[in-house]
Amino acid sequence: MTLAAVGTARHGEVGIAVQPPLHPGHDLDRSHARGADKAPTILDVAAEAGVSKSTVSNVVRGADDVSSATRARVLAAIDLLGYTPNAIARQFVRQRTTILGVLVGDLSNPYYAQMAQVAERAAFRHGYTTMFCNIEGAKDIALAGVEALLEHRVAGIVFLAYISRTDQLEEALRRAGVPIAFLGLSERWGDSVGPEDAQGGRLATEHLIGLGHRRIAYVRTPLVERTGDRGRHSGYRAAMRDAGLDALPPIAWAPGAPTVRYGRTSLKLSDALRGGKAPSALFVSNDIGAIAMIEACENERLTVPDDVSIVGFDDIAIAALHRISLTTVAQRLDYQAERAVSLLLERIHDPGLPPRHTSVSVELRVRQSTAPARG
Amino acid sequence: MTLAAVGTARHGEVGIAVQPPLHPGHDLDRSHARGADKAPTILDVAAEAGVSKSTVSNVVRGADDVSSATRARVLAAIDLLGYTPNAIARQFVRQRTTILGVLVGDLSNPYYAQMAQVAERAAFRHGYTTMFCNIEGAKDIALAGVEALLEHRVAGIVFLAYISRTDQLEEALRRAGVPIAFLGLSERWGDSVGPEDAQGGRLATEHLIGLGHRRIAYVRTPLVERTGDRGRHSGYRAAMRDAGLDALPPIAWAPGAPTVRYGRTSLKLSDALRGGKAPSALFVSNDIGAIAMIEACENERLTVPDDVSIVGFDDIAIAALHRISLTTVAQRLDYQAERAVSLLLERIHDPGLPPRHTSVSVELRVRQSTAPARG
DNA sequence: GATCATACCTGGAATGTTCCAGGGATCGCC
DNA sequence: GGCGATCCCTGGAACATTCCAGGTATGATC
């Protein structure tokens, strides 16, 4: 507390000049009287500055009807006492918070981590803090997490998870009536931002077709929401149809944790990628899955891209590593996260808004995991 | 609301039997009278159940002095009204929260993301929610982030960031007197958990020496806190000394963002890795740096591990990918995050505890980025 | 000098919960 | 039937802030 006063004195004489050493020695008494155990309140500051609590409140909140002399006096008192405004009390009386809940599927997955980071930053820039719940695919945890967010009366929720929403979870969210933005997904009941899945599926598939591949399979991983998966798959089918090719039956990742390690063992490649009718190219519904697929192929002594070409979706950071160099459909993760936060804040401000769904254009990034078909 | 009651009926007739259809039709009146705009409070529930607010509070908090008949009646009323306890009011009156602040350096860095995930999970398991601040190395943002956490009166802070702590930031934290645990670091003023840096440095270096390398350089990246860097570097020096080898001058990553992309261009390899006196092996102070180093080497047409062996530190998930296959010093990220949360909760419970520093043992994981020295 | 306007400040009500002291029943025991 | 114990329940105070109606100077205008 004394240090703070010194700090003030150092960086400007204004506050000090208006209000010299105020009550010399008195601060010691105060701190003894109150004890160091309790944080100073707006009333302590008011007493110290010789004004009412309302005036201190006005200063803290930046209201304009405070004379500059009074303001300086109050600021000096705040500095002296080391007062930190109590957001809990503020939230309590104003009956709303500036906290955004973030439901994130799995932070150890780079896709979500990148999204979460940008969302946090965007929220912070708008004066909101973020409360995270890592729901990791477990339905009961998700429900408990949502409950916690609702109890804390978050102003809105960013939904960033692949968990298949149960009726229970969805109903809990609807009932609470809290603004919610689905990030990385489209066509939900709240607001949403997502990539142009169908267009991406088409780009990926056309790229492979252009390289001369005829037998191209779609690989579906549990990472992708049904809606996203549907779009990507239908883009694939449309491109195949337009090229006069037959769509192959999709290869499915066994249900389970969406990690590279799991995918590597889960994908049954022996069946899918061996023999005369095996596909020479794969379009995988996301990058983590595509990387798992590369691992799985190389485990089975199939070289990528020589034996199999692979295209992913997302363009997460590690896809660009030389050693990985994954051809993929890039979606602007950062833009989407920003947009989701904007949608949320707009709805918080005006709950009457109609639901809005933003889809973000995608772009093919050709790297080394795809090569012309052989023969 | 009705659904919830049905749910109750399904898994047990007790609640329903004790309190049949209570007040049929009445719920509609209430919801109209109150209007759907305001969330029901404990008083609404009390009126509905015909008890006092204190009793409802007892039920919600799980206090034991409530008869089972009354409890059932209150629960039914809660269900009917869709009451969600107001954590803000609870925090307000109890003068403490069950929120843990997490200051995280950079969520898009897998090292932090993994730590953050486990920390969140551990906190949640103990009944705490987490408030994230992504401080990304910018000092003013870090300060504003800490301020936000303090205003929300978080019960403790997990510090998970490489940002070099300014006097200002450190003083703000000390002054606030909030319990704080440093994660991934040791030897700080609060509680801390970190890996055995010196031992790790020694293991990495001895592995390279064992492979016949003589000219081994230490590469320092801006990712690592000074303390961690010091330990790893000194472990390296000790191993070199014990083997009768000269430690080379450390190679430094230019200050800047700690990403692979940046590191790739920032590391001046032409000078460091060319010529007769160039090192044949590198020990890099963390995995992201090591991966950047692999990229940088291969950019310069140096093959890893044939031309240069590289060892990292951390064993982040992507280090294990076949395509990366980084030899590295593994530290138990999950255990550390768990431990940091435990330390924090113990201190919240008993602030008088002396500062504790846990160091976690490390273990070398040999993969494909290291090979015997040539010639 | 009365009236009005403006600038600045203040006191009180309200917010939803917890916690505590205490108050009725009911029961058992002498 | 008096007393104590136990069980269950209740009303009120307290928490730190915001917001609003109102109050008091000061200055300007007629």
Across A9-18, A57-66, A292-301, B241-250, least confident range? A9-18
Domain containing B245 equals 197-331
Domain edge (last residue) among A29, A64, A85? A85
Q: CA nearest A291: which of A301, A306, A279, A304?
A: A304
Q: Specify the pLDDT at position B75.
A: 96
Q: Are residues A81 and A105 in the same domain?
A: no
The DSSP-derived string for A323-361 is: TT--EEEEE-HHHHHHHHHHHHHHHHH-TTPPP-EEEE-
What CATH number does residue A146 fall under?
3.40.50.2300
- Chain A positions touching B261 (Cβ under 8 A) are 320
Q: What is the pLDDT of residues B331-345, one digit of tens each?
A: 999 999 999 999 999
The Cα A181–Cα A355 span in angstroms is 10
Q: Are residues B212 and B186 in the same domain?
A: no
Nucleotide of closest approach to B52 (CA, C1'): D10
Average per-residue pLDDT for chain A: 83
Strand order in the sheet with B327-331: B251-252, B216-220, B281-284, B309-314, B327-331, B362-365
Kindly indicate the confidence band of residue A26, based on its pLDDT and cuts at 50, 70 and 90. very low
Within a domain: A11? yes
Q: What is the pLDDT of residues A331-343, one digit of tens each?
A: 999 999 999 999 9
Nearest by CB: B84 against A82, A130, A150:
A150
- Chain A positions touching B317 (Cβ under 8 A) are 108, 259-260
Q: Is A4 on the interface with B (CB under 8 A)?
A: yes
Q: Specify the pLDDT at position B43.
A: 96
Kindly indicate the confidence band of residue B64, based on its pLDDT and cuts at 50, 70 and 90. confident
Q: What is the pLDDT of residues A4-21, one digit of tens each?
A: 333 222 232 222 222 333
One-letter amino acid identity for B344? L
Neighbours of A175 (CB within 10 A): 14
Q: Specify the pLDDT at position B269.
A: 56
Q: Are residues B327 and B344 in the same domain?
A: no
Q: Are residues A131 and A51 in the same domain?
A: no
Tokens found for residue B75: 């629960």
Q: Are residues B254 and B322 in the same domain?
A: yes
A94/chain B closest Cα distance in angstroms:
11
Within a domain: A365? no
Kindly indicate the confidence band of residue A24, based on its pLDDT and cuts at 50, 70 and 90. very low
Q: Are residues B187 and B237 in the same domain?
A: no
Q: Are residues B136 and B237 in the same domain?
A: no
Q: What is the pLDDT of residues B349-371, one digit of tens each?
A: 999 999 999 999 999 999 999 99
B98 touches strand C (CB under 7 A): no
Q: Is A114 on the interface with B (CB under 8 A)?
A: yes
Nearest by CB: B110 against A110, A131, A320:
A110
The Cα B32–Cα B26 span in angstroms is 10
| Cβ-contact A238, A209 below 8 angstroms | no
Test A120 with B107 for CB contact under 8 angstroms: yes
Test B108 with A317 for CB contact under 8 angstroms: yes
Q: Is B230 on the interface with A (CB under 8 A)?
A: no
B141/B257: higher pLDDT: B141
Q: CA nearest A105: which of B337, B121, B7?
A: B121
Q: Are residues B318 and B243 in the same domain?
A: yes
Within a domain: B305? yes
Domain edge (last residue) among A53, A85, A117? A85
Q: Specify the pLDDT at position A341.
A: 97
Nucleotide of closest approach to B54 (CA, C1'): D10
Q: What is the pLDDT of residues A271-295, one digit of tens each?
A: 666 666 788 999 999 998 899 889 8
Q: How open is the CA angle B373-B196-B368, to the nearest 5 degrees?
A: 30
Q: Are residues B131 and B233 in the same domain?
A: no
Q: What is the pLDDT of residues B128-168, one digit of tens each?
A: 999 999 887 677 888 899 999 999 999 999 998 866 656 67
List Cα–Cα distances, A346 to A155, A193, A352, B165, B322, in angstroms: 11, 14, 10, 36, 45
Q: What is the pLDDT of residues A136-160, one digit of tens each?
A: 767 788 889 999 999 999 999 999 8
Q: How many domains does chain A have?
A: 3
Q: What is the pLDDT of residues B201-236, one digit of tens each?
A: 999 999 999 999 999 999 987 655 666 888 999 999
Q: Are residues A131 and A189 in the same domain?
A: yes
Report the greatest alpha carbon distance in chain B.
Answer: 91
Kindly indicate the confidence band of residue B21, based on its pLDDT and cuts at 50, 70 and 90. very low
Torsion sign over Cα B52, B54, B60, B65: negative
Does the pLDDT at position A1 exceed 60? no
Q: Are residues B103 and B166 in the same domain?
A: yes
Across A274-288, A321-335, B63-77, B163-177, least confident range? B163-177
